[in-house]
Chain A
Amino acid sequence: MSTRLQTGGRLIDRNQRLSFTFNGTPMTGFAGDTLAAALLGNDQMLMGRSFKYHRPRGVVAAGPEEPNALVGLGQGPRFEPNQRATTTELFDGLSAISQNHWPSLNFDIGAVNNHLSKFFPAGFYYKTFMYPRAAWKHLFEPIVRHSAGLGKVTQPGDPDRYEHFYAFYDVVVIGGGVAGLQAALAAGHAGAKVLVMEQSAHWGGRAPVDGVEIDGKPAEDWVSATLQALEDMENVTLRSRLMGAGVYDHGYLLAYERVSDHRPGTAGPRHRLWRIRAGRIITATGAIERPLSFAGNDLPGVMLASAVRDYVVNWAISPGDRTVIVTNNDDAYRTALALQMAGLIVAAVIDARPTATGALPQAVRDAGIRVETGRGIAKVKGRARVEGVALCAQAGEGAVLEEIPCDVVAMSGGWSPVVHLWSHCGGKLTWDAAQAHFRPDPDRAPADQDGAPFVIAAGAANGHLQAADTLRDAAAAGQNAAVALGRDPADGTAARANAVAEEPLLPVWIMPQGAGPDLRSKMWLDYQNDVKVSDVQLAAREGYESVEHTKRYTTLGMATDQGKLSNINGLAVLSDALGSDIPQVGTTTFRPPYTPISMAAIAGEARGDTFLPLRRTPMQDWHDANGADFEPVGHWQRPYTFRRGGEDRAAAVKREITNTRTNVGLLDASTLGKLVVKGPDAGKFLDMMYTNMMSTLKPGRCRYGLMCDENGFLIDDGVVARLDDDTFLCHTTTGGADRIHAHMEDWLQCEWWDWQVYVANLTEQYAQIAVVGPKARALLENLGGMDVSAEALPFMGWADGTLAGHPVRIYRISFSGELSYEIAVPAGQGRALWDTLLAVGTQFGIMPYGTEALHVMRAEKGFIMIGDETDGTIIPQDLGLDWAISKKKDDYLGKRGQARSHMTDPDRWKLVGLETLDGGVLPDGAYAVAPGSNANGQRKTQGRVTSTYYSPTLGRGIAMGLVHKGPDRMGEELEFARTDGTMMRARIVDPVFYDKDGEKQNV
């Protein structure tokens, strides 16, 4: 059983006892524990079930590489699945549940898969579940989905806060082990601005566990002293619980800080996402120990040798009473010594190498521990917990020589540098045959914008596994990073570590060497996804030879640990099966993030009201208080209509239209884009931007303009007013303001950079109010301040002046067909003018109206709407707007596009009005059918509805549409298809339904 030792534990505080629950069972641990350590302290080795076969699984590792010990953490809206127990700091009140089982962790029905595993090899689902056809969706897929899935579903209503933090550093050191600290020291001494981050809560990494001595002191002391030295340097920042998550182009680095995961519910954000620009990034990310592949290597109690050492030394945990260590290298012997020092029994060290004569094996032998060389494990005995191992010759086929009872197997297959961050942005790897691992290739580092390498690997992450080499390498990395950024070289001397010489490892990819199919189908490579040696060999046999094919066919390395333990072992097995070298097979691609990061941290503060913040007009408060029924339009919400009493939307719209056409209406038009275009070349520029001639517009006058893209398609429209010789004010659609501004800047900056023109977006500087209707003039005259008569301010003119004491600019333009004044006023005075207009307007029957009334009135008048009559495929000529296209200009954007053969084709669909025969309203977007079908069997069409409304003014449905040769077919009847297949008949008419001669607007 696993228990807490009476003494020791460098990271725990025995004075602070913490309570927590696991699957509802109350347990206790100490401050400084990880959840995994605390569970082991409570004899809870079984921590989860695997993904595919639902096999019982215990903890394997002590860090972020852990594939098995995943739990659901927290409750209610704070519940979070798939949390690694090995990186979860224990806190009082923690509640954890295990995953992927039913009804319980100890008894899981899903484990029947385990007994059927012979029938479920890699990729079995590609070969079956095909008949009958409907069964995949209705039978097999639901079964697969429910048996997979791992963690429980989260709940809505996350109460926590998340934030982003932007930072700039010369040098960012990722990893707070001795390499990271040494590198930071060197870079800091050279004067660079340095950030050092450590993903866990503790500095120093493995060195203190491994008993390393630095500068004659225990590593622990050197770490404390170095931390103090770094803290004393003003140019160095230290952060723990901060993980390097992803490296991107141009020195962009994403780091993930778990601010309060260990004290949930406290003030401040839960996670903080650091968005860093770094001159140089040093990856001092250490190395991860590899498992060995032997039959039964996934039983609870089989752990990494380094993890066993960690649990004993850091948390005073005895993972079991009797441990067998199995290794192919010297390092694992440290575990034997650590166990013995803690008073635990090491039954044997089984070393696959023919001999083990180094200092560490010798020390172990001297301690009286049995060492067997040239041996391997044929099989681990036990069902839900290790009970013993069967010894065999590593060179043989697995004939059992002896059985050794034990309850822990500590395995070590050598170490692989953590190269993820190095690789994210294109850093390449080289195969180090001596250490049997991939390490960063310094000649093929990720390059920055100048082609210089911007990521530097240091220490164990660079393949230097011995402490002395690690420190030397790290000091050089820190020094070089600073110097590359132009800092002066400073003291780059490395601290000196004691050097215990280690003998070379023996690459061992399966154990024993000649294991047959039966044993190979019990050797796990990827624990979480249940991928075994036999699966990789099957993939190779079936021709899935690329490492990417094998990964995808077997799901090797696709679990939440992304193959941190399994990838190298898997591709070694693959290369063996293919008879090629490991470097030829290569690795799969390392993708960000290093370990999973919360979605909420990625979103940061952009949630709820701060997700795409709403833009508000000066009159928005009034709208809110007066029954506005809003619709989102671009960055705004505009009142669709203002409902009164028990009115529904349609009744309110009808009332607003009728009132506007008979009395006077008020529209908040502030959201319309307002771009000022200014400069000696402004007229010439606008002549290119618009199809119309703008340079001839007289100051004081307005002109309706059309804007097209290079292909000739209509993209925006609006009224342009010439303010003076050099200055134009261009109105755009509400949704178009930012886009058209960018469009203008694009042409000015990329094509016509020598033209003297500036563009400024003044949309929010002005409130704009349309006063519309036959009584509009009377209302404005009542306000007083300026002459708004037809003579002083004729149709399509504008004038500056004062209205009710407010400085205003009034445009005599109309989008409704009525007498209409659009009044621009500085934004700060918008609400006051709005209130005055409403108050004074009472005697004239004034009512505000919303966007729907605006739309209906413009349709009654036959005015087009960008986004309704246009959709990115429509040219002005389709809409009968030829009159707005200047024939005198040499060029404008879209002119050439509009000359292409398809654009001048007489067969194009063109704008017409549509009048239903029964007075009803045509459905939005309905198509007019034509006889027959096309070569692909689709019904032929000859037109479509672009806008359709009930017109209260006419008391019937009206519509605009695009119809094949429409204007030549006035009076013809068309059939429009509803989605249910029934037809609605409509007659082609003139699109102007109301006041064809413009007598009402031009008064």
Chain B
Amino acid sequence: MKRYSAFAIAREAARNHIGWGRAWAKRPPKKRYDVIIVGAGGHGLATAYYLGRNFGITNVAILEKGWLGGGNTGRNTTIIRSNYLQDPSAAIYEKARSLYETMSQDLNYNVMFSPRGLMMLAQTEHEVRGYERTAHANALQGVETEFISARRVKELCPIINIDGPRYPVLGALWQARGGTARHDAVAWGYARACSDMGMDILQQCEVTGVRQADGKVTGVDTTLGEIGCDKLGIVVAGHSGVLAGMAGFRLPIESVALQALVSEPIKPCMDVVVMANTVHGYMSQSDKGEMVIGGSADGYNNYTQRGSFHHLEHTVSALIETFPIMSRLKMLRQWGGIVDMTGDRSPILSATPLGNCFINCGWGTGGFKAIPGSGWGFAELMAKGQSPLCDAFGLNRFTEGRFVDESVAAGVAH
């Protein structure tokens, strides 16, 4: 693999950039792999990467029915934070956040992690108490957050109206090392690193069946033919129920469309990420200058990946109240991604009723920020059968009632 650097660019500039090779190789599938990961989104690719890096397992294929990074990895609003309330959530999201800090260097691919700071506005007394609780929990979890005053909110984000008539800003939970990253680059960077370790990334390769013998997985049927494996990791977000069906078990997952939109680009005016849960909206400004806005999930189950209008209306009116300059900006584009929601809004990283078959899903509206931590923990779970990061997120928690409920702190998309 050719190393990326300013020097390499300068060298290539001299010959019209004809010397750049493929970021990830294109190879036909082998007959058999030690591990097959279904789903070449961020979580699947990160899992493969840490299988190789941390456990030396490189005879791995990552199967993708479309194009890699084309699901929720390429559709989210790129927010990274770890200010979660419950211990297991804080552990895996903070692991992820800390891995984002060095990801560009680890992968030699600039994912533009921008720890610009993230605030969650408290706009009711109830929210103030909730975020104070989170701040207390975070202090013991090793997650750096603080509850800040409304005045400080205004200093950090001058375009906020803290004296709105309906919900004045009372303060905010501030995570200075939260921020954003370039979502596509995360998938591409992992794909390049996986390919460099000799793993096969098989795009346009849809899994159509899961093969098993004696209660254990033996391989998968795909549109490129049958491929054998010792272990199978299912990492397919919104379509997890479909794959689980092939493997012979059911999941407590509902799939719904989550709405997002961007404005036309303007010059920099917002240096932080702001989430306003009372009014159901969150916003940041991309490096291109677009205001990136996340909204609510549609109120019905579907797989369409399309934008709908009704929630958008509420999101946008709330944002105009919070950020009055939004009034004269224009919406450039809206879209939807299919999110896999569990009952407690926490993920599933678990062994399954099928031997040697593991599942990583249920990230709901919060998956992007978790990608490296999810990959780190899930790789450990697949390699060793157990991982402290994944312990609390087993499938059995639904039968035991051992929920990890994050909607406690953030009742909406996160």
User: Quick check: is A843 within 8 A (CB to CB) of the other chain?
Assistant: no
Q: Is the CB of A872 within 8 A of B401?
A: no
Q: Is the CB of A130 within 8 A of B108?
A: yes
Query: Given contacts A145-B268, A631-B125, is CB(A939)–CB(B324) below 8 Å?
Result: no
User: Quick check: is A614 within 8 A (CB to CB) of the other chain?
Assistant: yes
When chains A and B are docked, how far (Å) is the Cα of A560 from the Cα of B288? 11
User: Quick check: is A935 within 8 A (CB to CB) of the other chain?
Assistant: yes
The 6 lowest CB-CB distance pairs between A and B, nearest first, are: A925-B133, A149-B289, A156-B324, A900-B401, A546-B67, A596-B330
Within 8 Å by CB of A593, from B115, B140, B334, lies B334
When chains A and B are docked, how far (Å) is the Cα of A612 from the Cα of B179? 29
The contact string, 1 if C-beta is below 8 Å from chain A, for chain B 256-278, is 00000001111111000000001
When chains A and B are docked, how far (Å) is the Cα of A249 from the Cα of B326? 27
A589 / chain B contacts, CB cutoff of 8 Å: 335
What are 11 A-B contacts defined by CB distance under 8 Å? A82-B265, A136-B114, A151-B266, A151-B267, A249-B306, A603-B327, A606-B314, A873-B405, A900-B399, A925-B132, A979-B136
When chains A and B are docked, how far (Å) is the Cα of A49 from the Cα of B233? 49
Within 8 Å by CB of B110, from A126, A142, A937, lies A126
User: Which of A32-40, A537-545, A756-764 contacts its partner?
Assistant: A537-545
Cβ of B203 to closest chain A Cβ, rounded Å: 7
Of chain B, the residue at the smallest CB distance from A81 is B266
Q: Is the CB of A901 within 8 A of B330?
A: no
Q: Is the CB of B109 within 8 A of A141?
A: no
Within 8 Å by CB of B129, from A548, A558, A607, A925, lies A925
B135 / chain A contacts, CB cutoff of 8 Å: 925, 979
Q: Is the CB of B161 within 8 A of A602?
A: no
Interface residue ranges of A577-634 to B (CB < 8 Å): 589, 591-593, 596-600, 602-604, 606-609, 611-612, 614, 631-633
Most buried by B among A555, A924, A934: A924
Q: Is the CB of B287 within 8 A of A145?
A: yes
Interface residues on B, range: 35 or more
A562 / chain B contacts, CB cutoff of 8 Å: 332-333
Of chain A, the residue at the smallest CB distance from B291 is A599
Interface residue ranges of A151-182 to B (CB < 8 Å): 151-158
Q: Is the CB of B5 within 8 A of A128?
A: yes
Within 8 Å by CB of A127, from B8, B128, B326, lies B8
Q: Is the CB of B21 within 8 A of A609?
A: no
The contact string, 1 if C-beta is below 8 Å from chain B, for chain A 543-555, is 1111011001101
User: Quick check: is B126 within 8 A (CB to CB) of the other chain?
Assistant: yes
Cβ of A860 to closest chain B Cβ, rounded Å: 18
B28 / chain A contacts, CB cutoff of 8 Å: none
A923 / chain B contacts, CB cutoff of 8 Å: 132, 136
If A145-B289, A149-B266 are given as contacts, then 5 extra A-B residue pairs at C-beta distance below 8 Å, sorted by A number, are: A126-B185, A137-B179, A542-B22, A599-B320, A603-B327
Cβ of A361 to closest chain B Cβ, rounded Å: 37
Cβ of B341 to closest chain A Cβ, rounded Å: 15
Query: Given contacts A534-B16, A599-B331, is CB(A548)–CB(B9) below 8 Å?
Result: no
Cβ of A96 to closest chain B Cβ, rounded Å: 15
User: Quick check: is B37 within 8 A (CB to CB) of the other chain?
Assistant: no
User: Quick check: is A426 within 8 A (CB to CB) of the other chain?
Assistant: yes
Q: Is the CB of A130 within 8 A of B110?
A: yes
Interface residue ranges of A692-712 to B (CB < 8 Å): 711-712
When chains A and B are docked, how far (Å) is the Cα of A934 from the Cα of B16? 54
User: Quick check: is A521 within 8 A (CB to CB) of the other chain?
Assistant: yes
The contact string, 1 if C-beta is below 8 Å from chain A, for chain B 136-156, is 110111100011000000000
Of chain B, the residue at the smallest CB distance from A544 is B23
Q: Is the CB of A596 within 8 A of B328?
A: no
User: Quick check: is B362 within 8 A (CB to CB) of the other chain?
Assistant: no
User: Quick check: is A517 within 8 A (CB to CB) of the other chain?
Assistant: yes
Q: Is the CB of B263 within 8 A of A599?
A: yes
Within 8 Å by CB of B265, from A130, A151, A941, lies A151
B312 / chain A contacts, CB cutoff of 8 Å: 602
Q: Is the CB of B327 within 8 A of A137?
A: no
Query: Given contacts A127-B5, A542-B23, A923-B136, is CB(A246)–CB(B309) below 8 Å?
Result: yes
Q: Is the CB of A711 within 8 A of B403?
A: yes
State the B residues within 8 Å of A (CB).
4-6, 8-10, 12-13, 16-18, 20-26, 66-70, 74, 87-88, 90-91, 95, 101-102, 104-105, 108-110, 112-116, 123-126, 128-130, 132-137, 139-142, 146-147, 159, 161, 165-167, 179, 182, 184-185, 188-189, 203, 263-269, 278-279, 285, 287-289, 304, 306-309, 312-314, 316-321, 324-335, 343, 388-389, 391, 397, 399-403, 405, 407-408
A598 / chain B contacts, CB cutoff of 8 Å: 327-331
When chains A and B are docked, how far (Å) is the Cα of A454 from the Cα of B69? 32
A681 / chain B contacts, CB cutoff of 8 Å: none
Within 8 Å by CB of A125, from B112, B166, B316, lies B112
Q: Is the CB of B267 within 8 A of A592?
A: no
Q: Is the CB of B313 within 8 A of A148?
A: no
Q: Is the CB of A600 within 8 A of B16?
A: no
B112 / chain A contacts, CB cutoff of 8 Å: 125, 136, 141
Query: Given contacts A541-B20, A596-B330, A938-B142, is CB(A128)–CB(B289) below 8 Å?
Result: no
Query: Given contacts A124-B9, A939-B140, is CB(A608)–CB(B165) below 8 Å?
Result: yes
B166 / chain A contacts, CB cutoff of 8 Å: 611-612, 614, 632
Q: Is the CB of A873 within 8 A of B268?
A: no
User: Quick check: is A888 within 8 A (CB to CB) of the other chain?
Assistant: no
The contact string, 1 if C-beta is below 8 Å from chain B, for chain A 954-968, is 000000000000000
Of chain A, the residue at the smallest CB distance from B389 is A936
Q: Is the CB of B267 within 8 A of A149?
A: yes
Q: Is the CB of A873 within 8 A of B133?
A: no
State the A residues within 8 Å of B (CB).
51, 77-82, 118-119, 121, 124-131, 133, 136-137, 141-142, 144-146, 148-158, 246, 248-249, 252, 254, 275, 424-426, 517-518, 521, 534, 538, 541-546, 548-549, 552-553, 555, 558, 560, 562, 589, 591-593, 596-600, 602-604, 606-609, 611-612, 614, 631-633, 640, 711-712, 867-868, 871-873, 897, 900-903, 923-927, 929, 934-939, 941, 944, 977-981
Q: Is the CB of B110 within 8 A of A136?
A: yes
When chains A and B are docked, how far (Å) is the Cα of A875 from the Cα of B333? 44
Cβ of A115 to closest chain B Cβ, rounded Å: 12
Q: Is the CB of B185 within 8 A of A549?
A: no
A552 / chain B contacts, CB cutoff of 8 Å: 74, 184
Cβ of A899 to closest chain B Cβ, rounded Å: 9
A612 / chain B contacts, CB cutoff of 8 Å: 166, 279
Q: Is the CB of B405 within 8 A of A872?
A: yes
Q: Is the CB of B324 within 8 A of A126?
A: no
When chains A and B are docked, how far (Å) is the Cα of A393 from the Cα of B102? 52
Cβ of B386 to closest chain A Cβ, rounded Å: 10
When chains A and B are docked, how far (Å) is the Cα of A867 from the Cα of B115? 32
When chains A and B are docked, how far (Å) is the Cα of A149 from the Cα of B264? 9
Q: Is the CB of A154 within 8 A of B139?
A: no
Query: Given contacts A137-B115, A148-B288, is CB(A154)–CB(B332) below 8 Å?
Result: no
B307 / chain A contacts, CB cutoff of 8 Å: 246, 248, 591-592
When chains A and B are docked, how far (Å) is the Cα of A593 from the Cα of B307? 10
Of chain A, the residue at the smallest CB distance from B399 is A900
B288 / chain A contacts, CB cutoff of 8 Å: 51, 148-149, 555, 558
B308 / chain A contacts, CB cutoff of 8 Å: 248-249
Cβ of A438 to closest chain B Cβ, rounded Å: 19
Within 8 Å by CB of B266, from A150, A977, A979, lies A150
Query: Given contacts A517-B18, A599-B330, A927-B136, is CB(A150)–CB(B289) below 8 Å?
Result: yes
Q: Is the CB of B267 within 8 A of A938?
A: no
Q: Is the CB of A603 within 8 A of B317?
A: yes
B265 / chain A contacts, CB cutoff of 8 Å: 51, 82, 148-151, 560
Q: Is the CB of B400 within 8 A of A900?
A: yes
Of chain B, the residue at the smallest CB distance from A100 is B267
Most buried by B among A128, A154, A542, A981: A154
Q: Is the CB of A548 within 8 A of B266?
A: no
Within 8 Å by CB of A607, from B10, B321, B328, B343, lies B321
Q: Is the CB of B287 within 8 A of A137?
A: no
A591 / chain B contacts, CB cutoff of 8 Å: 307, 333-335
B91 / chain A contacts, CB cutoff of 8 Å: 936-938
